[in-house]
Structure 1
Amino acid sequence: MTVTSNINGSALLELPNEGPLLGTETDALDILGETYGTEANIIVIPVARLQPGFLQLRSGMAGAFIQKLQNYGCRLVVLGDISAEVAASEALAAFVVETNRVGHHLFLPDRQALLDRL
């Protein structure tokens, strides 16, 4: 079940760990549709819900997905441990560091890190 919550003045749409894998622009639009009628402007997706190629930057999935959310004024938080994927890819490591530095979209290891950043 998708949950909307408010943390430190930020309205979040939090997707559950269970459900279909996500990663396409159509998936992003479907999730954006779930925000209608809510004030949610931050979408939290567990890493377990991402399609296998999402964290492989050459697939283009992450960039297109994030861009679609950004076009509609929503932020993305990918929640979960991606340390193995980051360790295996210099490009992904740089992308995650830069994304987190800018802070509009975030890759965070757990809910406590999410609470600390908001």
Structure 2
Amino acid sequence: MPDVIKTLNGVQVLVFSADAAPITSEPDANALLEQIWAHDASWIAIPVERLSDDFFALHTRLAGTVLQKFVNYRVQVAIVGDLSRHLARSTALNDFVRESNRGGAVWFVPDLDALALRLAGAPASR
């Protein structure tokens, strides 16, 4: 599936394809920013499958580097999909997901329906 723009509760969200190359570095995030600007999106949805295992190993700092880049450019991010495999291995990741979901810049959601609910103002599910 190609990257697509979806309107979820009146919000334009660029939904990235799960089938494209994984995000493994800061330059990968830079390439995504170019697509975000081309589509004039303020929210992006990145499938869990698109993120390397290093992203979820917080000691690598990849998640922090990538997500901070988006936040710096005022792009809000939803990581979409099943995190259970990653959460089972890391208390720190559990804490990171919980704290992120309390804010407004980065959310971890199980699917696009959950993202739509969050965008409508429903409380976080994690």
TM-score category, normalised to shorter length: over 0.9
> Which residue of the partner structure matches residue 84 of structure 1?
85
Distance 1:65 1:111 in 2: 21
CA distance in 2, matches of 1:6, 1:62: 26
Unaligned runs of 5+ in 1: none
Aligned residues: 118
Partner of 1:9: 10
RMSD: 1.1
TM-score by length of 1: 0.94
Partners of 1:7 and 1:80 lie apart in 2 by: 17
TM-score scaled by length of structure 2: 0.88
Q: State whether structure 2 residue 106 is matched by structure 1 residue 100.
A: no
Deviation at 1:68?
A: 0.5
Q: Tell me which residue corresponds to 1:43.
A: 44
Taking the aligned partners of 1:68 and 1:4, their CA distance within structure 2 comes to 21
Q: Which runs of 4+ in 1 moved over 2 A?
A: 36-39
Q: What is aligned with 1:24? A: 25
Secondary structure class of the residue paired with 2:99: helix
Aligned equivalents of 2:10 and 2:89: distance in 1?
36
**Which runs of 5 or more structure 2 residues have no equivalent in the other structure?**
120-126
Residue 34, structure 1, aligned to residue 13, structure 2 = no
Identity of aligned residues (%): 36
Q: Deviations over 1:80-105 (max 9, x none)?
A: 00012112211000000000011321
Aligned counterparts of 2:85 and 2:104: Cα–Cα separation in 1: 22
